[in-house]
Amino acid sequence: MSDDTMISTPAGIGVSLVDGDPVVRHARQLMLRSEKYEVRSYATCAALLADPRSRDYPCIILDLEMEDVDGQDLLRQMRATGWRGKALLLDGLHPDSPMLQEAERHGDQVLERTVGDRALLTAIAGSIDHSWAGWNAVG
């Protein structure tokens, strides 16, 4: 297999999923696992912050429409504890939003909350720094 083929596979790459809606969270978790991503899901931002393994996953999918969510603060806290990944923020932010501008500075993306599976998978693949591949393979 060529290196390009190995880089494009999501097997063993971790994604943290934060969504307060258990039905949406479960459906996305199943979809991501079916695509061979390792997934850790959380009902709250506090749960994500409390899990030291979340720092090992290069991508966070965060629903910004959850109650009491300050996405910027969450990402600042994650980065302050050593996380160096990218975030996919699910919301419908206005193009002039300070959150959108900060997200762009860090290489994060803001997507519509109702993003489809294919578009979400494309965004995840584009957000992954492939030097992370294999760090979190479960064995």
3-state secondary structure 45-85: HHHHHHCHHHHHCCEEEEECCCCCCCHHHHHHHHHHCCCCC
The sign of the CA dihedral 117, 121, 122, 123 is positive
**Is residue 138's pLDDT more than 90?**
no
Q: Which pLDDT band holds residue 4 (cuts at 50, 70, 90)? A: very low
Residue with more model confidence, 96 or 80: 80
- pLDDT for the residue numbered 18: 94
85-123 tens-digit pLDDT: 999 998 866 666 677 777 778 788 888 888 999 999 999
Burial of residue 125, with CB atoms counted within 10 A of its CB: 0-12 exposed, 13-18 middle, 19 or more buried: middle
Say what the pTM is: 0.81
Helix (H, G, I), strand (E, B) or coil at 7: helix
Is pLDDT of 81 > 60? yes
pLDDT tier at 28, thresholds 50, 70, 90: very high
